[in-house]
Amino acid sequence: MSPSSKDNGVGTQRQMKGDHKWNGIPPVGDRPIDNKWKFLGLVALVFLVKIVIWGAYRFTSGNIWPFTDPEYGAVTGYWLETFLKPLLQLGPVFLLWWFVFKERGLPFRFTRKNLASALTWGLLGGTAFFVVSTMSMTIVMNIAGYGSNFRIVAGWDDIGWSLIIAMMFSFMVGTGPAEEIFSRGFLQDQTARAHPIWFAILFSAVLFAVGHLPISIFMHHMSFEAIVWYMLVLFIMGVFFSLIYQWSRNILLTILIHGLWDWYLSLFSLKGDYTEAFLANSEIMFLRVDFFNTLITLAIMLPFFFFLYRTFWRRDLFATGSPMEKQKRDNRLFRWLRDRDQGQWPKRPWFTVSLVTLMFCLTMLPIAGLIGADDPNLLSDGIKDYKGERVEVREWNTELVGSYLGEGQSETFLMDSNGTKVTKVNVSLQWSDEPDAGIRYTNLPDTFTIYLIDGSGEELGTDQGASGRLSMVWVMQDENEDLGNLSVVVKCYRAGDQEPMVNLLGLRTIADTGNDFNLRIDYETLYVTYEGESEGNDVRW
């Protein structure tokens, strides 16, 4: 660091605290910034490390058992993300903050300031955000001519209580805190230490969107066009979260709104009678609608939060005797929140915030039950009656096989697709090795191989190992392509023999001839009907 930087304390908490734009809550950091672009490079390095680590997790959770298990994979993934998301996304930030930035303490700030209003408006604002967005989405869908008869149904009507509870904790404990603390509490605040606020907001919003590439590619297998629309929506949302964080200067506000928004999308579903054209390309169509829906929603919500900024969080406006101070003094709710914002409330802040948030979320469950639908016809999307037009129907099938293979032998299992096209396949193979043949022998592990083969005999995927479990996930990239009947081939590549631990006593190798195994094949089939009947779909919003 240059002497002038040390003397001026550029970019330090002490130097920034006097700047009114921080409202007394500047970003953390005690070391002066000598070169603002070099410092921006360090901030970008933190993001790069984070996305590499999170990308590896997303690849694992999108392609490997038990995450790919159709029955338990979703619940397992959400519970793990409750704990892994904060650990994997924020853990590297601490290490880089201490050893690369050479700073001390936390790399982001938690404060009691504005805590009462952040909690209140975070919960109420998150609910209002969902209501406004749902109404906007319905209006835009109808105007665009994509369908009609839209309705809200409770999510658990077709996905179950256990998954709903797992989603609630995952979004409120994992996603909301991890993504907001990282994107706003670290990326935005640290960038703003050396660059203008507007630049920090745009920079963090871009990285917030890019940070969702792993889930787009490895989990949802989105097309390039869909990813572009998804990135645009996330960028706009990132700007919104950055603005309200800069206004409130309390990260709790954005954590609550972000977590509630994600959870509401799982708790409630928007269902309707869609056109055939919409269902033929629902992924991209939905994202296009959501892009305009996001613009409309934020155009309504941003003025509301700007009013809160002027009312609660911009303290320098409230000189004694000013009109706004009189308005606050005369309004009982504003006065109650103001007193608690400025006081030491509560005595145990994070326990109180967690308890209030949990109770608020739990009240949403009976509300969802009240507006839920018992009619099975309302739990899936329908298509308008276009007789003679194309309708796609997708179904999941499961085949379980138990068998035996000798060393070098293989067996082929043809998927019973009844002439329909197989578009997705999850394969899981399990086997158990024999125990050691007494204390003088060591059993070498058996090695199996699985192959996914198309109708022409071409290999679509493979996996091999000796761990006792193999898994493989395959997704058709072009659903117009005809690959014929798919099959899974299981081969006992090597049967591990019993080897003597010490070959001084004339002990002979005991040959292993083969092994039992259990195979599970889950696959999605697609067929097309032109009868114009209303078929069940699941285009969830």
Closest CA to 528 of 426, 451, 420, 444: 420
Query: For 80-102, how does the pLDDT look when each residue is reduced to its tens digit (9 = 90+)?
Result: 999 999 999 999 999 999 999 99
For 321, phi then psi, to 5°, come to: 95, -5
The model scores a pTM over 0.85: no
Rounded Cα distance between 443 and 423, Å, is 40
The distance from CA 445 to its chain's CA centroid, rounded to whole angstroms, is 37
CB 344 within 8 A of CB 236: no
Quick: pLDDT tens for 332-353. 777 788 778 877 777 888 899 9
Q: Contact 532/391 with Cβ under 8 angstroms?
A: yes
pLDDT at position 541 is 53
Please state, in angstroms and rounded to a whole number, the distance separating the CA atoms of residues 208 and 296.
21
Residue 278 clears pLDDT 60, i.e. is over it: yes
Q: Are 183 and 204 spatial neighbours (Cβ–Cβ below 8 Å)?
A: yes
Cα(450)–Cα(491) distance, integer angstroms: 6
Amino acid, single-letter form, for residue 86: P
> Which one, of 355, 302, 364, lies nearest residue 119 by Cα?
355
Mean per-residue pLDDT, 3-20: 69
Output the CA angle 117-119-123, nearest 5 degrees: 115
Measure Cα distances from 486 to 200, 448, 479, 540 in Å: 51, 20, 14, 29
Question: Which DSSP symbol is given to 45?
Answer: H
Q: Which two tokens stand for residue 93?
A: 């930030």
Instruction: Decide if pLDDT at 515 tops 90.
Output: no
Q: How many Å apart are CA 231 and CA 518, to the nearest integer? A: 42
Report d(CA 208, CA 239) in Å as an integer.
9
Positive/negative CA dihedral, 209, 166, 186, 252: positive
pLDDT for res 450: 94
Alpha carbon distance, N-terminus to C-terminus of the chain:
51
SS3 525: strand
Position 535 confidence tier, pLDDT thresholds 50, 70, 90: very low
Is the pLDDT at 383 greater than 80? The verdict is: no
Question: 65 in helix, strand or coil?
Answer: coil
Residue 492 DSSP label = E
- Please give the structure tokens belonging to residue 182: 């990282």
pLDDT over 90 at 528, yes or no: no
Encode pLDDT of 39-58 as tens digits: 999 999 999 999 999 999 99
Q: Residue 157 in contact with residue 163, Cβ under 8 Å?
A: no
Buried b / exposed e across 10-40, counting CB within 10 Å, b at 16+? bbbbebbeeeeebbebbbbbebbbeeeeebb
* pLDDT > 70? residue 501: no
pLDDT at residue 422 greater than cutoff 50: yes
Q: Which long-range contacts (CB under 8 A, 24 or more apart) does 435-440 make?
A: 436/498, 437/498, 437/510, 439/501, 440/500, 440/501, 440/502, 440/505, 440/507
pLDDT on residue 390: 61
The pLDDT assigned to 485 comes to: 84
CB 133 within 8 A of CB 309: no
Query: What DSSP element (H or E) covers 261?
Result: helix 251-267
Flag whether pLDDT at 1 surpasses 50.
Answer: no
Q: Which residue segments constitute the domains of the chain, with CATH numbers given?
A: 35-313+346-382 (no CATH), 386-529 (2.60.120.380)
Residue 160: is its pLDDT beyond 90?
A: no
Task: Give the model's pLDDT for residue 407.
Answer: 86
Show the tokens assigned to 375. Answer: 């009619």
Contacts with 440 (C-beta within 8 Å, 6 or more apart), sequence order: 500, 501, 502, 505, 507
- Mean pLDDT across the stretch 207-226? 90
What is the band of 155 on the pLDDT scale with cuts at 50, 70, 90? Answer: low
pLDDT band at 319 (very low <50, low <70, confident <90, very high): very low
